[in-house]
Structure 1
């Protein structure tokens, strides 16, 4: 931690002191206390160490439990100084009594309070959700910046996105794209990812940009970059090819259950219609990957219908009800879309369905299955080209 209480109750912040002043404090043997649990803490400093306070031994204290090391402390200080330089009103590790929480940085902007959390360690998802609920209940806007140690890039526009990282997706209005922010204290660079589409395999596509800390202003983190929807379908061509052609290893859990489910219906993933496993913006709300829930919807509800038959959106949603994640699990996202409805609209764009009201669709065409993987791969490409042409 960067702050501690002195005997008189005042807070002292070591980063505001020179190395010489910190060494003088250490030599005087002054006593300091944790602002959270009031237990004694000691001063730690050195040539390669950022001056900070630490508990004498492992304590049951949120500040001790959330300690993330020099990487985290360095990033937090850099972000704090960066905001100070822009003349923002900021506090480091400010305590908020009403919710008993202490964000890394508390920013006051006009009449708004913004809690900026710099997260570098893996913690239980429930901790993140509870902290967000606390901030929002207190009327404070939470903004999370992830440590770049959590950023794993797979290709130019593809990166790892685990269920833990999904908790940090931001969306500030219904027209704003999904956003993730990372910061590296070693290179002093931000990584900003927008227009994020989850693939369902612990990965996602998005538009990535890298910016130097002191070449960026705070509002620029939230500016919307130019993006064309056609890029999504171009990225997805590779995703579909991998889905059809990659050799599966040993199957477990939901994936094993899905393969058994396909077998019981007399088919295999290589032969599924190209209209299964399409990109939807709000895939984060589904507990199953897109190939799984879309195949269930198509094969259980849509495929058995005769041409011209009408069905309700409610029926489609109800069939997948247990695979939805509640929107309260994603409090950083302002407007929660409906992935099932988004999928039905893609099928409408492809000519399989027609919307006849706000609540009902009519089936227009059958969904063809394949007999070999070569034809399936060609069909996937053609379908994505059609989607791209109809934007």
Structure 2
């Protein structure tokens, strides 16, 4: 529940995300929170280009990095494509990842896209504050009427912001009400949590078959550390010979990288059943791609050996990952045929689902020309 305030219309505020058919209202308010928390306004006045850049930045992570669908009416991904922002190198800077994304977008963003992004959403977000005045009015006049009402009643109905239009560049100008600035700052943790909940629910509704939506609204690379998992595989390789399922080369503790067979950007976890050690150069080549399904048999065969090793050594963390995900018993894990069937079925389904979401399919290892030349000498 949002904190009450004797001055502000919290009931209207609580309805700003009602009837949300695309991502714009959520992205606009997330951007307002960024502006307020970072003090990027001047006495409540917001720079339109900066606002539209933040909207694109908040959309970049789920729509580009995680390939989530934002809705049939959504044009955000199109704007990112037009601005050539589908391939931001997150490793190219020591900056915070969101800052890097925002700075890159700001440098490329232009007035035309800013106008398009802010064409409707600032008006839609304010409609709950003027529901009586706007009731029955045609959409064609709602924007102009909302603009008038937001200025006329700025100091009695206290909408979140007022809308004006700059005559010079014809961009919308938003000014956040001082009372709302104070309310949001005082209750920032609660409000940002409420917005995030609505954002996750929206994304889940648009991507019903996608796992771990809650992990796909921001970038937190701390969570992809594989230290524990690597220790397990190092121990396994001490006593067991294993070939890379893609290249056929013998793996050692010094030449392998742990690969997420189904890309991490789709599953967003490090569970053991989806990890496989492969030659490091091969891992770089595979990157964020889906392997050809012909590799599933080799993958599951390797995991038969791995689960046998885990059971023998009573490695509870590893065993638990398989039990929970495959919905099986210890006996099932010990049954090679049943174990391979369950894991293969899961992997195949995930490949199909990730492919529908836009992940590149049918990756296979291709030895580089340089490697081939070196192997001939």
TM-score tier (shorter):
under 0.3
Higher helix share: 2
- For normalisation by structure 2, the TM-score amounts to 0.26
Q: Which has the higher contact order (CA 8 A, sep 6+)?
A: 2
1 or 2, which has the higher strand percentage? Answer: 1
With normalisation by structure 1, the TM-score equals: 0.26
